[in-house]
């Protein structure tokens, strides 16, 4: 039984379920106490090792071992037993309202009440009896696809679970490695995008090399109706998700989850192991720790490693294991080195290292003085700008519009209307601005042809960007209309914002 089952529930639990839980708890009392204690103890402490040793004894007796499950960034203690066992994993699905950022709430769909889901740790050769429980107050059915499972759907085919129900299946942990698990209920993208993923570690038969610290870090991208940092409760935006335009890119389910008081910690001279996952649903992570070089990287969490790596790719639905020794005290930032995601969308964490200075390795600032250049820089000659198209209009068009409306604005017959010589777009400037700002859904006639689809809102763009892209469109491909100003966009935004 997991530690999460011992905590008071956020919801009212039905009476029959209380009885079942109580009966199970009485039968497993001594094992539960040991498991809960191990989950609350750092993996490198003597007490954690003692707990693992007790598990080794239980395995030798043929008993079923309850899995130790932890919330990020904590990791269950290493497995010290050297023989396979039967391991019981109980994981509850719930839909809960949690902070996404300061003043921003979001309804997450979770494995275990938080994002990412619980960290599961088993051993190669273990037989895992998996129980998935869907909270009675959930609105949707859910299941689980564990990438560590050899079998249809990674277990998803056997775990479709309605609210208030429990399902069970068993699998053999055949392959060592670090694997993502996620919900695979249709529409799969929506379930994953709302937070339904986590990591399961299958330790090799000989175990992992000992380190001083182990942490669980999982990146994901989120898509909200409101713009970045727009306050209040924010619903999921499927159109943004399909277009891969995340509002937030974060570690461990929320902006700031690994900053300040919640930062990861280590001491000079310690070896640190990070289990890094990427829940996606869309973006590939370029994981990097600023000021450190990874001594070892198990790319895609396989059994082979590379050495002396600066940045490693973690695919959506994939994972990596990185290890390094910290030698200099200070603050080390964890980032997605697609760097605007880190400093503009939230993919930023911190490792605080304490200990003695290591001046021979890193001196810190030694001096500062005035500098006079020996010559003037070369004069900059600005490129001519065509005012009718806006300097950034083509860039914005290529980024946001070209996929649907094509390179020359010709559109796709029967699917996406043309922008070249478009009677609809050119007839009313205010209407064109409002369409870009707020989107458009439903039947539409353009140049005598009928279309019926969805134009996603682009209100997250700045007024200048919208003015420039409309000016570009209105002066390209045979269009010859006056440019649009940022002031016109601002006026329409103020009148039509909703």
Residue 295: pLDDT band (50, 70, 90) is: very high
Contact 275, 216 (CB under 8 A): yes
Cα-based torsion angle of the residue sequence 398, 399, 405, 409 in order, rounded to the nearest 10 degrees: -20
Proportion of the chain above pLDDT 70, given as a percent: 83
Read off the pLDDT of residues 201-255 as tens digits, 9 standing for 90 and up: 999 999 999 999 999 999 999 999 999 999 999 999 999 999 999 999 999 999 9
The arithmetic mean of pLDDT across residues 120-142, rounded, is 97
Residue 322 to residues 286, 312, 341, 416, Cα–Cα distance (Å): 13, 9, 21, 45
d(CA 262, CA 268): 19
Least confident of 180-184, 301-305, 352-356: 301-305
Q: What is the pLDDT of residue 259?
A: 93
Helix H or strand E segment including 134: strand 127-134
Q: What is the pLDDT of residue 307?
A: 97
On the 0-12 / 13-18 / 19+ scale of CB atoms within 10 A, 495 is exposed
Q: Using alpha carbons, select from 303, 306, 350, 302 the residue that is nearest to residue 330.
A: 350
Residue 331: pLDDT band (50, 70, 90) is: very high
Proportion of the chain above pLDDT 90, given as a percent: 61
Evaluate if residue 30 carries a pLDDT over 60: no
Read off the pLDDT of residues 162-207 as tens digits, 9 standing for 90 and up: 999 999 999 999 999 999 999 999 999 999 999 999 999 999 999 9
Q: Using alpha carbons, select from 425, 396, 260 the residue that is nearest to residue 333.
A: 260
The arithmetic mean of pLDDT across residues 4-32, rounded, is 37
Evaluate if residue 328 carries a pLDDT over 80: yes
Q: What is the pLDDT of residue 412?
A: 78
Q: What is the pLDDT of residue 382?
A: 55
Contact 283, 246 (CB under 8 A): yes
Q: Tell me the CA end-to-end span of the chain in Å, nearest whole number.
A: 47
Q: What is the pLDDT of residue 225?
A: 96
- Cis bond upstream, residue 73 (ω within 30): yes
Q: Is the pTM of this model over 0.75?
A: no
Phi-psi region of 339 (alpha: psi -120 to 50; beta: other; left: phi over 0): alpha
Evaluate if residue 396 carries a pLDDT over 80: no
Read off the pLDDT of residues 408-455 as tens digits, 9 standing for 90 and up: 888 877 778 899 988 888 888 998 888 888 888 778 888 988 887 777
Residue 399: pLDDT band (50, 70, 90) is: low
Evaluate if residue 45 carries a pLDDT over 70: no
Q: What is the pLDDT of residue 35?
A: 33
d(CA 331, CA 348): 12
């Amino acid at each position: 039984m997991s530690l999460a089952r011992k905590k008071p529930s956020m919801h009212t639990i039905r009476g029959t379920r209380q009885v079942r839980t109580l009966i199970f708890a009485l039968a497993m009392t001594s094992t539960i106490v040991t498991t809960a204690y191990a989950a609350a103890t750092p993996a490198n402490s003597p007490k954690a090792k003692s707990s693992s040793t007790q598990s080794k004894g239980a395995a030798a007796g043929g008993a079923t071992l309850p899995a130790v499950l932890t919330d990020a960034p904590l990791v269950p203690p290493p497995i010290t037993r050297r023989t396979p066992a039967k391991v019981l994993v109980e994981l509850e699905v719930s839909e809960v309202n949690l902070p996404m950022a300061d003043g921003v709430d979001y309804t997450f769909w979770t494995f275990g009440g938080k994002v990412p889901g619980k960290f599961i740790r088993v051993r190669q050769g273990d037989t895992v009896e998996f129980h998935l429980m869907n909270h009675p107050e959930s609105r949707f059915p859910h299941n689980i696809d564990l990438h560590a499972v050899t079998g249809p759907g990674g277990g998803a085919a056997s775990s479709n679970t309605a609210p208030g129900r429990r399902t069970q299946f068993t699998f053999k942990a055949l392959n060592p490695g670090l694997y993502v698990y996620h919900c695979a209920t249709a529409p799969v993208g929506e379930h994953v995008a709302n937070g339904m993923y986590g990591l399961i570690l299958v330790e090799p038969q000989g175990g992992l090399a000992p380190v001083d610290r182990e942490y669980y870090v999982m990146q994901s991208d989120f898509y909200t109706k409101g713009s970045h940092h727009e306050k209040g409760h924010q619903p999921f935006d499927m159109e943004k998700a399909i277009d891969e335009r995340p509002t937030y890119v974060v570690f461990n389910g929320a902006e700031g989850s690994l900053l300040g008081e919640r930062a990861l910690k280590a001491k000079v001279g310690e070896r640190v192991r990070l289990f890094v996952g990427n829940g996606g649903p869309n973006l590939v992570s370029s994981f990097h720790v600023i000021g450190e070089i990874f001594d070892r990287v198990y790319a895609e969490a396989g059994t082979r490693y590379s050495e002396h790596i600066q940045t490693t790719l973690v695919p959506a639905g994939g994972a990596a294991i990185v290890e390094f020794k910290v030698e200099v005290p200070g603050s080390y930032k964890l980032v997605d080195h697609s760097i605007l995601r880190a400093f503009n969308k939230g993919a930023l964490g911190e490792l605080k290292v304490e200990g003695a200075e290591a001046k021979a390795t890193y001196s810190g600032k030694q001096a500062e003085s005035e500098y006079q250049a020996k010559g003037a820089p070369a004069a900059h000659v600005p490129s001519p700008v065509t005012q009718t198209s806006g300097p950034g209009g083509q860039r914005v068009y290529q980024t946001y519009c070209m996929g649907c409306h094509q390179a020359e604005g010709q559109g796709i017959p029967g699917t996406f209307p043309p922008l070249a010589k478009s009677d609809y777009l050119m007839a009313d400037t205010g209407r064109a601005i409002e369409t870009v700002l707020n989107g458009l859904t439903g039947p539409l006639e353009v140049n005598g042809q009928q279309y019926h689809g969805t134009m996603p809102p682009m209100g997250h763009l700045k007024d200048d960007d919208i003015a420039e892209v409309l000016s570009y469109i209105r002066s390209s491909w045979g269009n010859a209309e006056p440019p649009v100003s940022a002031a016109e966009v601002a006026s329409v935004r103020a009148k039509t914002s909703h």
